[in-house]
């Protein structure tokens, strides 16, 4: 997966959760801390919101990529 793909996923997540500010989040920024908080606590007040499952999938995919060892990341990043 390339950095462009990750940035695209982040943009999709930010667009999804910030649309009309319907998601109950401390911040709508797609930084790693907000994504981890969404994964940990997002289901409490957002699980019935539109596209919640897709937003959760995107957040998990981005965080999983972030937590990989540097050696396993795409060689195009170097």
Mean pLDDT in consecutive groups of 10 residues from the start of the chain, 78 residues: 90 91 86 93 90 95 88 59
What per-residue confidence (pLDDT) applies to 64? 93
Query: What is d(CA 77, CA 15) in angstroms, rounded to the nearest whole number?
Result: 25
Instruction: For residue 37, tell me if it sits in a domain.
Output: yes
Instruction: For residue 51, tell me if it sits in a domain.
Output: yes
Q: What is the span of the domain harbouring residue 14?
A: 3-72
Instruction: For residue 19, tell me if it sits in a domain.
Output: yes
Instruction: For residue 8, tell me if it sits in a domain.
Output: yes
What per-residue confidence (pLDDT) applies to 77? 53
User: What Cα–Cα distance (Å) separates residue 74 from each residue in 3, 7, 30, 57, 68?
Assistant: 8, 14, 21, 21, 11
Tally the domains of the chain: 1
Instruction: For residue 77, tell me if it sits in a domain.
Output: no
What DSSP state is assigned to residue 74?
-
């Amino acid at each position: 997966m390339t950095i462009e793909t990750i940035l695209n996923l982040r943009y999709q997540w930010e667009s999804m959760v910030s649309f009309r500010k319907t998601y109950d989040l401390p911040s709508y920024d797609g930084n790693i801390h907000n994504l981890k908080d969404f994964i940990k606590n997002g289901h409490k007040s957002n699980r019935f919101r539109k596209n919640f499952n897709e937003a959760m999938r995107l957040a998990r995919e981005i965080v999983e990529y972030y937590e990989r060892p540097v050696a396993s990341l795409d060689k195009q990043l170097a």
